[in-house]
Amino acid sequence: MKLTRRILMGAAAGSFILSAGAATAQQTELTFWSWRQEDKAFYQDAIKKFQAKEPNISIKFETYAPENYQTILSTALAAGRGPDVIQVRAYGNLETIATPGYLVALDKNNVPELANFPEAALAAETLRSDGKVYAVPFAMQTQLVVYNKKIFKDNGLNPPKTWDELMSLAQALKAKNITPFGNGTATAWQNETIVGGLLSSMLGKQFEEDIVSGKANFTDARFVNALAKLKDVSQYFAPNFTGVDYPSSQQLFVAGRAAMFAGGSYEVANFKNQNPTLDLGVFPAPVLKAGDQALVATYYDGGYAVNAKSEKKDAALKFIRYLATPEYGTAFTNTLKNLSPIKGIKIEDPITQEVAKLTENAMSYLMLVRFRYQEPSGSVLLQSNVQKMLAGQQTPEQAAAEINKGIATYYKPFQK
């Protein structure tokens, strides 16, 4: 009897070891790369929630510096390596890694949750040459003006609606030794965000349509006049603004030493994280004259893709399907104060609700959405020439001509 009992116990123990080994063998670890170091805590929490649904899949989240990310990613993918799940950019930057075949094409069969997105969001993650979607969109960003409500209230000011109101407000603030705008222009890409935040209403949807159709180009009076207005208002930017870089301009606003900041909706969460006492509001680019339509500039920030060389595609697809659900989109929006484009999300934060309302009247963040597919990039042309113009090295007419000249080298409607 004792011998029989020992045999049975040994068999049971062996069975336990085998089953434990089988469970371990079923565990799949995915690698997930991103440039969003500041969002690491959120992503780690999202991964835990996913793993509660899929306990046999673990995910290692890794981040890289934004300025180096695209190069590091492209190099890894070209060598047949890289992560299983990739946070990718949109528009032209997506095409650089989708065109060589580095990403898995997504459709309603492998990711049914694509139905949760508006067409414009999917278009941002679509390769133009084959019309296929290669990433699940993750955010819609909005270019506008963020303002310090306390400074406005203490000085009896309201958000301006027209350009003249903005200029009067800025003058009144400066007269009280308050810096109207925290913005500087030393960091080149900031010049593009300033254009989007301040000039969208003045340019208007019709201008965008005319540019895309070829009825107008960037020497158009609407664009030149808008640049001239930007030159005028730059006198109210940070002191010695041409030498003020992006981190310094942020700190000026975070410290409560500037009343406004022209930039993206993505700034709000960062500002609040650095200074929780800030009471912030947002407003769209002021219109040229009363009665014109106030607009913000919007774009889709990127998406989640699957590496075509991954040996764990099924698990990776399960993860990005989760990243396409309203449950995830709601958490993303309310935690990061960034608008998820997923339909059916519930927005809790009042400022994010305000941003979402403003996006109902929007034009494209023009150079990123329309002219960042070829070289010289429209964004680089805009950034460098506006930077020179605001430094007094070019007139608005000269800046517009240089921008147009660069885009015309490849954009056929401008070659007529």
**pLDDT of 318 strictly over 80:** yes
pLDDT score of 20: 46
pLDDT score of 305: 98
Torsion (CA) 263, 266, 269, 271 in degrees, nearest 10: -20
Distance CA 166, CA 409 (A): 37
Q: Are residues 274 and 182 in contact, defined by beta-carbon separation less than 8 angstroms?
A: no
Residue with tokens 């484009």: 341
One-letter amino acid at 8 equals L
The residue-averaged pLDDT of 344-361 equals 96
Q: Are residues 158 and 298 in contact, defined by beta-carbon separation less than 8 angstroms?
A: no
CATH superfamily label, 142-297+357-415? Periplasmic binding protein-like II (3.40.190.10)
* Residue 29 φ then ψ, to 5°: -105, 125
Distance CA 335, CA 84 (A): 25
Tokens of 306: 């699957």
Residue 247 preceded by cis peptide, ω within 30: no
The residue-averaged pLDDT of 358-364 equals 98
Sheet bearing 57-63, strands edge to edge: 57-63, 28-34, 85-88, 303-306, 136-137
**pLDDT of 75 strictly over 80:** yes
Residue with tokens 């994280």: 273
In the structure, what pLDDT confidence band is assigned to residue 67 with cuts at 50, 70 and 90?
Answer: confident
Distance CA 353, CA 190 (A): 25
In the structure, what pLDDT confidence band is assigned to residue 384 with cuts at 50, 70 and 90?
Answer: very high
CATH topology assigned to domain 27-139+301-324:
D-Maltodextrin-Binding Protein; domain 2 (3.40.190)
pLDDT score of 38: 87
Q: Average pLDDT over the chain, rounded to whole? A: 94
Q: Are residues 144 and 332 in contact, defined by beta-carbon separation less than 8 angstroms?
A: no
**pLDDT of 298 strictly over 90:** yes
Residue 362's H or E segment, with its range, is strand 362-364
User: In sequence order, which ranges of 176-258 are alpha helices (DSSP H)?
Assistant: 190-213, 221-233, 246-254
- Give the range among 8-17, 83-92, 248-257, 397-406 with minimum mean pLDDT: 8-17
- How much of the chain exceeds pLDDT 90, in percent? 92
pLDDT score of 291: 96
* pTM across the whole model: 0.90
The span from the first CA to the last CA of the chain, in angstroms, equals 99
The residue-averaged pLDDT of 119-131 equals 97
pLDDT one-digit tens code per residue, 168-178: 999 999 999 99
Domain ranges of the chain: 27-139+301-324, 142-297+357-415
Query: CA distances (Å), 377 to each of 35, 197, 365, 409, in order?
Result: 21, 20, 14, 11
Q: Are residues 265 and 336 in contact, defined by beta-carbon separation less than 8 angstroms?
A: no
**pLDDT of 408 strictly over 90:** yes
Distance CA 327, CA 342 (A): 9
The residue-averaged pLDDT of 35-64 equals 96
pLDDT score of 26: 81
pLDDT one-digit tens code per residue, 8-34: 444 444 444 444 444 445 899 999 999
- In CATH terms, are 27-139+301-324 and 142-297+357-415 the same topology? yes
Query: CA distances (Å), 386 to each of 96, 375, 395, in order?
Result: 26, 18, 9
Ramachandran quadrant class, 337 (left: phi over 0; alpha: psi -120 to 50; beta: rest): left
**pLDDT of 6 strictly over 80:** no
Q: Are residues 193 and 386 in contact, defined by beta-carbon separation less than 8 angstroms?
A: no
Q: Report which of 397, 385, 361, 191 is spatially closest to residue 287, judged by C-alpha positions.
A: 361
The residue-averaged pLDDT of 183-212 equals 98
Q: Report which of 294, 296, 299 is spatially closest to residue 378, judged by C-alpha positions.
A: 299
User: What is the DSSP secondary structure assignment for residue 144, as one 8-state letter?
Assistant: E
**pLDDT of 157 strictly over 60:** yes
